[in-house]
């Protein structure tokens, strides 16, 4: 009789295509057998009874800022990866900035890899940065395994990570195209945002609404249109991160129809929070692009339902509470939301339960699509031969998120106090249980 390392029995196995009742067998970190409607024969070192639970491929969070090395006091790979595990994520792609030195050359990438291999309890992957100064380093970064490159079209908020100008982005995109890699872009217009922000502040207009109005949707649209024209000129594959509005997605959709190689991400906060939350919660709910109004949130859900969004990622961009306490001048205070632990909770509560978004679509957006788009060939689904990155979810469990539930270094989040339906019970990374019943499993 076959012996396995792990058998998960009697769960509802969710993939991007289907939901089936069955068992999963794991050996040496890999899924070796998936059985639908019948028991797997054999024994295992460990068995998990998943009766009443849904079994999802672990989330792949393609957009986090864990800030290590160099700004570990803001988050760090240990606390960041623990929060992901608690939220059902089994892999992340760390952004090149907020860590210092930023990931803009091989030496800096090596520093981050070394830390991540030591500290992360989920699978780490890395974005390389594209800044005006590092075109000559892109090849080396690519050859050392970065997922792709990330550039800012507007100031990043971080002194050692410059935004690209039109000249450097054109050169960079030509190089990235020749490498066969891809560019992820933070697309907001510097001209529009800087001008509006200066006007607002000169007039002493610094409320939440003023901040939001200084970064309007048209600023995203303008930047997206411009970067698409560069993509068409260079053949560089594009990924637009954190689109905040369906109006931005529409521009990307048009480009897709024309055959441009482009994909788009949105984040749980644009699907669940509004300007009202920014007014009420202060800088805890501040991000760029900013939160929009209720009708935009509904339109963005329609966009998700219509299949216009490729990826949902958290854009977890944490900071200490002291940088998130501003209430009178919304141009001050760190822009970045702590949300990595809550992505699946938002998608289940606001998507599956509130708006009938099928579980299969949630799996596609949070796991299967990022795996396929970014070349993780053995991840993103539950099937024999794939890595045993698995999340067990109780769809019936309701809970109110408490600050002490958060595994972040700084236990604040705009979702504290929110009632969620659907909770992560167990997270398995490469066949090992890393989180169960609310606790990280210590090695
Ligand atoms: N530097 C950084 O993390 N910026 C992020 N924060 C945010 O709200 N949007 C971003 O791009
Ligand atoms: Zn980001």
Per-residue pLDDT tens digits for 154-200:
999 999 999 999 999 999 999 999 999 999 999 999 999 999 999 99
Cβ-based burial of 441 (10 A; exposed 0-12, middle 13-18, buried ≥19): middle
Q: Up-side HSE of residue 333: CA atoms within 13 Å toward CB?
A: 25
* Rounded percentage of the chain residues whose pLDDT exceeds 90: 98
Cα–Cα nearest to 88, from 367, 330, 282: 367
Q: Whose CA is nearest to atom 9 of ligand 1?
A: 288
Assigned token pair, 31? 């899924």
- Residue 157 CB–ligand 1 contact under 6 Å: yes
Confidence of residue 240 (pLDDT cuts 50, 70, 90): very high
DSSP readout, 235-300?
Answer: --EEEE----SHHHHHHHHHHHHTT--EEEEE-HHHHH--HHHHHHHGGGG--SSPP--HHHHHHH
**Per-residue confidence (pLDDT) for residue 272, from 0 to 100:** 98
Nearest CA to ligand 1 atom 1: 156
Query: How far is ligand 1, taken at its centre, from the CA of residue 410, in Å?
Result: 17
269 lines ligand 1 (CB under 6 A): no
User: Per-residue pLDDT averaged across 223-243, rounded?
Assistant: 98
Structure tokens at 403: 């600050």
Does 244 contact ligand 1 (Cβ within 6 A)?
no
Could you say which ligand is closest to the alpha carbon of residue 314? 2
Peptide bond into 371 cis (omega under 30): no
**Mutation to probe ligand 1, out of 67, 266, 323, 336 (largest number of atoms < 8 A from CB):** 336
Which of 368, 365, 370, 357 minimizes the C-alpha distance to 302?
357
Span 260-271, mean pLDDT?
Answer: 99
Q: Contact at 8 Å (CB) between 420 and 399?
A: yes
Position 327 pLDDT exceeds 80: no
Reported as a single tens digit per residue, the pLDDT across 3-28 is: 999 999 999 999 999 999 999 999 99
Q: Locate the DSSP E strands across 39-189.
A: 43-49, 54-57, 59-64, 89-94, 123-126, 128-129, 149-152, 182-186
Query: Taking all residues of the chain, what is their mean pLDDT, rounded to a whole number?
Result: 97
Identify the nearest ligand to the CA of 127 by its number. Answer: 2
DSSP of 163-205? PP-HHHHHHHHHHHHHHT-EEEEE---HHHHHHHHHHHHHTT-
Query: Looking at ligand 1, which atom is closest to the CA of residue 65?
Result: 3
- Tell me the β-bridge partners of 27: 30
Cβ of 65 closer than 6 Å to ligand 1, yes or no, is yes
Vertex 88: Cα angle to 244 and 286 (nearest 5)? 30
Is the overall model pTM greater than 0.90, yes or no? yes
Of all protein residues, the one whose alpha carbon is nearest to atom 7 of ligand 1 is 336
Domain ranges within the chain, ordered by starting residue: 3-55+385-400+419-440, 58-373
Q: Closest residue (by CA) to atom 5 of ligand 1?
A: 336
* Nearest atom within ligand 1 for CA of residue 152: 11
**Gap between the Cα atoms of 235 and 229, Å rounded:** 10
Contact 423, 20 (CB under 8 A): no
The ligand 1 atom at the shortest distance from the C-alpha of residue 335 is 8
Q: Is the CB of 287 under 6 A from ligand 1?
A: yes
pLDDT score, position 209: 98
Which residue matches tokens 């490469």?
A: 430
Which CATH superfamily groups domain 3-55+385-400+419-440?
Urease, subunit C, domain 1 (2.30.40.10)
**Fold exhibited by the domain 58-373:** TIM Barrel (3.20.20)
Distance between the two ends of the chain, CA-based, in angstroms?
A: 30
Which atom of ligand 1 is closest in space to residue 97's alpha carbon?
1
Phi and psi (nearest 5°) for 83? -65, -35
| DSSP reduced 3-state for 233 | helix
Percent of the chain with pLDDT over 70: 100
What's the rounded Cα separation, in Å, for the pair 167 and 155? 16
Helix (H, G, I), strand (E, B) or coil at 395: strand
Distance from the alpha carbon of residue 285 to the mean position of ligand 1, in angstroms: 12
Cβ contacts of 214 within 8 Å, gap of 6 or more? 193, 196, 197, 199, 200, 331
For 290-298, what is the mean pLDDT? 98
Neighbours of ion ligand 2 (CB under 5 A): 315
Mean pLDDT of 326-331: 86
Instruction: Compute the distance between CA of residue 267 and CA of residue 298 in angstroms, rounded to an integer.
Output: 14
CA distances from 413 to 92, 342, 364, 421 (A): 19, 9, 25, 17
Is 242 assigned to a binding site? Answer: yes
Return the residue whose CA atom lies nearest to atom 10 of ligand 1: 288
Helices then strands, counting H and E runs in the chain, come out as 15, 18
User: Beta strands of 310-411 (E only): which ranges?
Assistant: 311-312, 390-400
336 Cβ below 6 A of ligand 1: yes
User: How much distance in Å is there from the Cα of 287 to the middle of ligand 2?
Assistant: 9
Flag whether pLDDT at 260 surpasses 70.
yes
Per-residue DSSP letter, 428: E
Q: How far apart are CA 412 and CA 414, in angstroms?
A: 7
Ligand nearest to the CA of 288: 1
The pLDDT, as a whole number, for residue 37 is 86
**What pairs with residue 61 in β-bridges?**
92
| C-alpha 114 to ligand 1 mean position (Å) | 24
Collect all residues with Cβ–Cβ distance below 8 Å to 324 and sequence separation of at least 6: 282, 283, 284, 286, 333, 334, 410, 412
Ligand at shortest distance from the CA of 287: 1
Ligand 1 touching residue 128 (CB < 6 A): no
Q: What does the pLDDT average to over 46-65?
A: 98
ipTM of the complex: 0.97
Has 65 been labeled as part of a binding site?
Answer: yes
Which residue, judged by its Cα, is nearest atom 11 of ligand 1?
288
Confidence at residue 361, expressed as pLDDT on a 0 to 100 scale: 98
Query: Do the beta carbons of residue 243 and residue 310 sit within 8 Å?
Result: no
What's the whole-number mean pLDDT along residues 309-318?
98
Tokens 């935009």, residue located: 296
Is 315 annotated for ligand binding? yes
CA of 186, nearest ligand number: 1
Average pLDDT of the residues in 287-293: 98
pLDDT tens digit sequence for 27-51:
999 999 999 989 999 999 999 999 9
User: Is 314 close to ligand 1, i.e. is its CB under 6 Å away?
Assistant: no
- Strand-pair category, 432-436 with 419-429: antiparallel
Q: What is the pLDDT of residue 443?
A: 83
């Amino acid at each position: 009789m076959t012996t396995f390392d792990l058998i998960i029995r009697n769960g509802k196995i969710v993939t991007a295509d289907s939901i089936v009742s069955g068992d999963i067998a794991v050996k040496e970190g890999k899924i070796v057998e998936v059985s639908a409607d019948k028991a797997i024969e054999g024994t295992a070192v460990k068995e998990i009874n998943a009766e009443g639970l849904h079994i999802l491929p672990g989330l792949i969070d393609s957009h986090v800022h864990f800030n290590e090395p160099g700004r570990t006091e803001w988050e760090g790979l240990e606390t960041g990866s623990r929060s992901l595990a608690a939220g059902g994520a089994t892999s992340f792609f760390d952004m090149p900035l907020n860590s210092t030195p930023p990931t803009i050359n091989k030496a800096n990438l090596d520093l981050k890899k070394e830390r991540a291999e030591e500290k992360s309890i989920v699978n780490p992957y890395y974005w390389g940065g594209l800044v005006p100064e590092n075109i000559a380093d892109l090849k080396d970064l690519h050859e050392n395994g970065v997922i792709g490159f990330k550039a800012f079209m507007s100031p990043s908020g971080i002194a050692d990570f410059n935004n690209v100008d039109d000249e450097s982005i054109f050169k960079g995109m030509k190089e990235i195209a020749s490498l066969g890699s891809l560019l992820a872009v933070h697309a907001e217009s510097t001209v529009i945002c800087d001008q509006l922000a200066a006007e607002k502040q000169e007039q002493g207009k610094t409320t939440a609404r003023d901040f939001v109005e200084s970064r309007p949707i048209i600023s995203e649209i303008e930047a997206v249109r411009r970067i698409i024209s560069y993509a068409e000129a260079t053949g560089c594959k594009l990924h637009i991160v954190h689109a905040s509005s369906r109006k931005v997605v529409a521009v990307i959709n048009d480009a897709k129809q024309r055959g441009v190689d482009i994909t788009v991400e949105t984040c749980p906060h644009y699907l669940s929070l509004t300007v009202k939350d920014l007014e009420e919660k202060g800088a805890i709910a501040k991000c760029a692009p900013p939160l929009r109004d209720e009708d935009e949130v509904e339109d963005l859900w329609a966009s998700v339902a219509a299949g216009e969004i490729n990826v949902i990622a958290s854009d977890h961009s944490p900071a200490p509470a002291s940088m998130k306490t501003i209430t009178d001048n919304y141009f001050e205070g760190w822009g970045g939301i702590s949300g990595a632990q809550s992505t699946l909770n938002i998608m289940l509560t606001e998507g599956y339960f509130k708006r009938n978004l099928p579980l299969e679509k949630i799996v596609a957006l949070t796991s299967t699509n990022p795996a396929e788009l970014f070349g993780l060939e053995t991840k993103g689904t539950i099937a024999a031969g794939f890595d045993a990155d698995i999340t067990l979810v109780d769809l019936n469990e309701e809970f109110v998120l408490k600050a002490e539930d958060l595994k972040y270094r700084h236990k604040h989040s705009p979702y504290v106090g929110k009632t969620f339906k659907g909770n992560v019970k167990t997270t398995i990374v490469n066949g090992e249980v890393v989180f169960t019943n609310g606790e990280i499993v210590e090695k």
